[in-house]
Structure 1
Amino acid sequence: MQVIQWIVNLGASVFLPILLFIFGLILRIRPGKAFKAGLTVGIGFIGLNLVIGILTDSLGPATKLMIQNYGLHLQTIDVGWPAASAIAYGTVLGVMAIPIGIIVNVILLGLGLTKTLDIDIWNYWHVAFTGSILYMLTDNMYLGIFAMVVVTMFTYFFADLSAPAVAKFYGLEGISFPHGLSAPGYVFALPFKWLFDHIPGFNKLHVDAQSVQKRLGIFGDATVLGTIIGLVIGILAKMPINKTLNLAVSMGAVMMLMPRMVSLLMEGLTPISEAANSLVKKHFPGKKLYIGMDSALAIGQEGVLSASLILVPITLLLAVILPGNKVLPFGDLATLPYFLALFAAVFGGDILRTVIAGAVDITVSLYVATWMAPLITKLAKAANYNIGSNSSISALSDGGLWTNFIFLNVGKNFAWIGLAILFVIALGLLYWLNKVHDKKATEA
């Protein structure tokens, strides 16, 4: 376990290149090419984190000013995913999530019940988060471990289910997103797609980045649009003109730089993905294999970024007007692109549809995060995480996930029986998708 903890502490930008290099050698890629591929992915993650840092550093002061100017007094602070991941991996069960996730992945791959070969090991913190909270709720370690198995199975189902849409919309053939925050968003968005497609008039409206640019010319360009949105956020925050202009240019920079950092990730992943698929085609004709990666590969898309920036002030407004909400959005405002990564794939990049469905998702997340606040605060103290002067903390990301609300309530109220039912459901869904559905698709 100490070795695993050491690997986790390296961070994705270090251990992922090492893992990809080893994986590349297994796939018989030349050592030099495998090394360069892994290193490029690591550099891409560093670049992506720098851009996200710009987003966070720019939105942070604007958010604080909005909170002060509009008198937002909510007792629970959203500490964001960095704190939530540190808390998750700092618990008794935290580090166990990685070996559990790997074992479950290998078993499901061996049985043909998933196509996702998950190399995004660091993001097993999402699994650790749920298992650790259930352990704290029930004081039953084995129940917490079983919950992590169930969560992992559902995550692979979501990843396999959404992979065709990821390939079609993002052009990421052979890639899936077994990402604890983004993957459930695909299922959440599907009913809205049906609804939007059946609203007369609205179903003919399509507002993607390309159509906006076509109609607005230079003002529809993604970089210019990001600058305008940054300007609006600065005005809403009543920032001084110099800071408003700095925020505007920073948001424009994010819109321009994010896709370029994502392209670096793809440059490194391409030879690995191609080699993996060639190997599968050679030894397992007719079979598919998805390389499970962080949904960071999708957050640079123009529609995702535009919708995310538009939702920043909307999220703060929702936090104020929703009765019963106690969470003040802050740390996870910069995480909104991860919320929406698969929404955009469902809606074909339609910004308006993504914003509307995203607002509903955030509404649900605020209420779930409010419910989770006492649990996350207690878990943080158990993990010896310093919550500073805050008496209550939560996280809009994993703390607000609708799936976590289900897993935790079922585990708490129905214990082994409830989780066993969820296990059977997950198994059935994986079997249907990877056996029944695939067979019908092949026959057709």
Structure 2
Amino acid sequence: MNAVNDVVQYILGLGASVMLPIMLTIVGLIFRLPFGKSLKSGLTVGIGFIGINLVIGVLSNNLGPAAQAMVKNFGVSLTVIDTGWPSAAAASWAAPVSAIMIPICVAVNLIMLFTKTTKTLDIDLWNYWHFIAAASTGYIVTGGNWWFAILCGILYEIACLLIADWTAPMVEDFYGLEGVSLPTGSTNAFGLIGIPVGILVGKIPGLNKIDVSADTIQEKFGIFGEPMMMGIIIGAVIAALGGYDVGGIITMGINLGAVMFLLPRMVKILMEGLIPISEAARDFLQKRNGDSDRTIYLGMDAALTTGHPANLATGLLLVPITLLIAIILPGNRVLPFGDLATIPFYVSFIVAHRKGNIVQSVITGAIVIAFALWMATNFAPVHTEMMRGVYEFPAGASQVSSLDMGGNVLNWLILKLSQLFAGAPL
């Protein structure tokens, strides 16, 4: 098992930009796409992901210090630190169940695909860490019960595949991602709560008549309504809240304006490579099953949606709002930090379901984040146990958690199921 785990860790250590070209070239060949086209598609997707990661890196590197500055300015003192999804992913991959869960998750997906219980072929191997995190949760709470841990991971995966199927038409309609679904665990979990909450928000008298989308903002404000300018303005406001000087405010604004301008272009590059494989997969499976009407989706990372101006604007506006909610929310002990730059991932389905209405999306997102903070607070003891020996705890933090894993309703339900099975206090 240690040897298998070492191989898995080595492959994963290559990163998505290397894994995806290899995976997609193999997938293309399986679905009878010529080698040259398969390789070109795989490499194009890998290059697109490099571009997306570079731009998201700019976002994270700017929002992280700004968040710290805002916390210092507002004098916030919360004892559970949000260490972000990277640390949660690292802890998941280091868990005892990680090596065995990857082939199990692949097998479950293929069985569901060929029994027509899902339409999604999840090739986003890196994000299997969400399934492994659920298995690790069950493993820790039950004191090392392997079978129950595996069941937890499978249940989480099934939920993500079904949610991905359900939301795929909406993803295609709003984001233009044809033949793609998004089985990313955190995006699915936030959407599961966010879509019904958004429906209720959309029924509030007065609010239901407000339609502030990226298009309407651009139409009313001209150049100042363009995504680039929206990023500059929002970035400047965040920097001002962090107490930056004039130079820092301008720099922050320009950097977030660059994110708003570049990210959609990176997504377009990635989609250039993805479309031929998506079409080949659909044609192959339709012929094999004798069902010309059958739809097959390629399961991809929700990063594909973060380039939409409404998504980015909603996510950036929610950064200071999330910190404010954390301060005033009764019962919350989590200080949001590591996952602030990942909020655009969490609101992907919310923004799409609200059809890009930024006002309704921000209000919906704020409500969902309040629930996420409560769940992350409740999850902190198990989250902390999972991180021991993998992550160096920040000074002054008695416990750690994250919005991505601890504030994720699917993983929180796995936590409650595990506690019920183990006879532990809920």
Query: TM > 0.5 between the two?
Result: yes
> 1:353 matched to which residue of 2?
360
Shift of 1:192: 2.7
> 2:94 matched to which residue of 1?
90
Between stretches 351-360 and 371-380, larger displacement belongs to 371-380
Aligned residue pair count: 415
Q: Secondary structure at the match of 1:117?
A: strand
> 1:344 matched to which residue of 2?
351
> 1:248 matched to which residue of 2?
253
Can you give the 5+ residue segments of structure 2 that lack an aligned partner in the other structure? none
> 1:104 matched to which residue of 2?
108
Q: Within 5 Å, which residues of 2 pair with 1:264-283? A: 264-283=269-288
Q: What's the RMSD between the two structures over aligned residues? A: 1.5
Task: Determine which of 318, 325, 328 is the counterpart of 2:335.
Answer: 328
Amino acid across the alignment from 1:340: V
> 1:55 matched to which residue of 2?
59
Q: Secondary structure at the match of 2:121?
A: strand
Cα deviation, 1:357-407, whole Å, max 9, x if unaligned, reads 1001111111111111121111111x5333354432111111111122212
Distance 2:33 2:112 in 1: 25
Q: Secondary structure at the match of 2:59?
A: helix
Distance 1:44 1:330 in 2: 27
Amino acid across the alignment from 2:48: G
Shift of 1:309: 0.6
Amino acid across the alignment from 1:411: S
Shift of 1:191: 1.8
Distance 1:94 1:388, change over 3 A: farther
Task: Determine which of 226, 234, 239 is the counterpart of 1:234.
Answer: 239
Task: Determine which of 373, 387, 403 is the counterpart of 2:393.
Answer: 387
Q: Within 5 Å, which residues of 2 pair with 1:105-184? A: 105-139=109-143, 140-184=145-189
Aligned-pair identity in percent equals 45
Q: Is the 8 A contact 1:310 1:355 kept in 2?
A: yes
Distance 1:68 1:242 in 2: 19
Shift of 1:94: 2.0
Amino acid across the alignment from 1:20: L
Amino acid across the alignment from 1:64: Q
Q: Secondary structure at the match of 1:348?
A: coil
The reply on whether 1:319 has 2:326 as its aligned counterpart is yes
Can you give the 5+ residue segments of structure 1 that lack an aligned partner in the other structure? 417-444
> 1:27 matched to which residue of 2?
31
Distance 1:313 1:201 in 2: 25
Shift of 1:168: 1.0
Task: Determine which of 8, 11, 17 is the counterpart of 2:15.
Answer: 11
Cα deviation, 1:94-123, whole Å, max 9, x if unaligned, reads 232211210110111121100101101110
Distance 2:221 2:310 in 1: 15
Amino acid across the alignment from 1:400: G
Q: Secondary structure at the match of 1:360?
A: helix
Amino acid across the alignment from 1:200: P
Shift of 1:23: 0.9
Distance 1:264 1:106 in 2: 28
> 2:73 matched to which residue of 1?
69
Distance 2:140 2:350 in 1: 32
Q: Is the 8 A contact 1:95 1:128 kept in 2?
A: no
Shift of 1:62: 1.1
Shift of 1:165: 0.6
Q: Secondary structure at the match of 1:248?
A: helix
Between stretches 55-64 and 406-415, larger displacement belongs to 406-415
Q: Is the 8 A contact 1:97 1:148 kept in 2?
A: yes
Shift of 1:415: 5.6
Cα deviation, 1:290-338, whole Å, max 9, x if unaligned, reads 1111111111101000001100100111111112211111110000011
TM-score of the two chains, using structure 2 as the length reference: 0.94
> 2:219 matched to which residue of 1?
214
Q: Is the 8 A contact 1:97 1:125 kept in 2?
A: no
Shift of 1:132: 0.5
